[in-house]
Amino acid sequence: MLNEKDVLEAVRRRVEERGEAAKLGPPDAVQITWHSLLEGEVVRSIETRTEEKQLRYGHVDLSDRPEYDTLARYRVALPKDLTKTQSLTLVRRGSVTERSCDCGNGKTLCPRCQGRGDLPCEAFTTCAACRDSGSCLHCEGTGRRINQDPRDHKPGDERVTCRQCGAEDAACPTCSGQGRTTCSTCEGRGTRGCPDCDRTGTVTHERCEGTGRTVTWIEGTISRQPLIEKIKHPKAGVPYLAWEGARESGTWRRTDLTHKDTLPTDLASGFRNLVQPHLEPRKGEIARRATFRYLRLARAVVPQHPHRVYYVFPTDTSPQVFVLPSRQRTWQIGAALLGGLAMLYLLLLLLP
């Protein structure tokens, strides 16, 4: 594990590589801050068990479903892949009841026609063309000639021979002087077919949806859902570039745990305190797989180099140093860039 001596030696070599060994100063002047980097994933399988009364119409085949006596005691093997969703449907033993509906055959008397299959209908309707007014200019639909001369009507109005009184060129062409027309629905019969039952007198029984029987049972469901938690610590305080440098080149220690395992005894207390909260069981948890990797990162500040920050992490060979500008230096660079842009803008404004 990386220690303070390793950090000082690594920073010293880096400073010497830059030709600035004389500016390093005494070892106790270097300010070292330690960061515990931790990243990984915890995958849990969360199980829920529910019971619900089911109702189906007609025949239902439940023979392929497992039976149970007490849902909470029904044993199911732990999932091999915790990332997959699983669901098992069962039937409580002895809860299946199949009944014949009181309708007998899935049909019931049509409430609209009361089983007759047809409905009353007006055999004749008032003529839509003449509305029984002026149906015949001679007899007015009575069959007896009331007027000796035709009533006034516009020249060109079409008139036909009246079926009632026989007058020519006097009757409405639609009803021929009768003042009414035969109903197009019943064709003058006085009854029409019931549209609800299509003349059968019966309709589908809603209570059994036309099947004539119902099936009820208690259904148990065991569902397993994955719960995935991504772990990264710290979320702030370590620059992104330092994180990426350590992630790509650092030597990380790795730990894989299941819900049956405990933390390794040789795990440093700092990492143990970080990992332990993520291993607390969740409600409904039946299995867990956790994968962690961790690394100790040092942040070193040399008073003689106030504009640099040295980040040191272990590798397979020797500690590696990643150099970044300090926050003050970053602000200075940003201010200089903004000042340069402002000057350029002013120059552009002054150009003719």
- Tokens found for residue 309: 């920050």
Residue 85 has a pLDDT of 96
CB atoms within 10 A of CB 322: 20
Q: What is the sign of the dihedral through the CA atoms of 52, 57, 59 and 60?
A: negative
- Tokens found for residue 2: 């990386």
Position 345 pLDDT exceeds 70: no
Does residue 217 contact residue 92 with C-beta atoms inside 8 Å? yes
Residue 352 has a pLDDT of 63
CA–CA separation, 126 vs 313, rounded Å?
Answer: 101
Mean pLDDT across the chain: 85
Alpha-carbon distances, residue 71 vs 49, 62, 90, 96, 220 (angstroms): 7, 17, 9, 16, 7
Residue 23 has a pLDDT of 58
Please confirm whether the linkage preceding 195 is cis (ω < 30° from 0).
Answer: no
Residue 147 has a pLDDT of 65
- CB proximity list for 56: less than 8 A, separation 6 or greater: 214, 215, 216
Amino acid at 19: G
- Tokens found for residue 17: 């590589």
Reported as type and span, the H/E element at residue 327 is helix 327-350
Position 65 pLDDT exceeds 90: yes
- Tokens found for residue 311: 């980040």
Residue 152 has a pLDDT of 52
Percent of the chain whose pLDDT exceeds 70: 89
Residue 68 has a pLDDT of 97
Residue 296 has a pLDDT of 92
Residue 331 has a pLDDT of 57
CA–CA separation, 237 vs 349, rounded Å?
Answer: 42
The whole-angstrom distance between residue 76's C-alpha and the CA centroid of its chain comes to: 28
Does residue 76 contact residue 223 with C-beta atoms inside 8 Å? no
Q: Could you identify the residue written with the tokens 């960061």?
A: 35
CA–CA separation, 83 vs 42, rounded Å?
Answer: 11
Higher pLDDT, 232 or 339: 232
CB atoms within 10 A of CB 115: 14
- Most confident range, picked from 199-203, 220-224, 270-274: 220-224
Residue 40 has a pLDDT of 94
The pair phi, psi for residue 239, each rounded to 5°, is: -60, 150
Q: What is the sign of the dihedral through the CA atoms of 18, 22, 28 and 30?
A: negative
Position 71 pLDDT exceeds 90: yes
Split at pLDDT 50, 70, 90, the class of 150 is: low
Position 13 pLDDT exceeds 90: no
Position 81 pLDDT exceeds 90: yes
Residue 28 has a pLDDT of 66
Residue 333 has a pLDDT of 58
Residue 263 has a pLDDT of 86
Residue 335 has a pLDDT of 63
In terms of C-beta density within 10 A (0-12 exposed, 13-18 middle, 19 or more buried), how is residue 185 classed?
middle
User: C-alpha dihedral over 131, 136, 141, 144, to 10 degrees?
Assistant: 160
Residue 230 has a pLDDT of 95
Split at pLDDT 50, 70, 90, the class of 22 is: low
Residue 69 has a pLDDT of 96
CA–CA separation, 78 vs 84, rounded Å?
Answer: 12
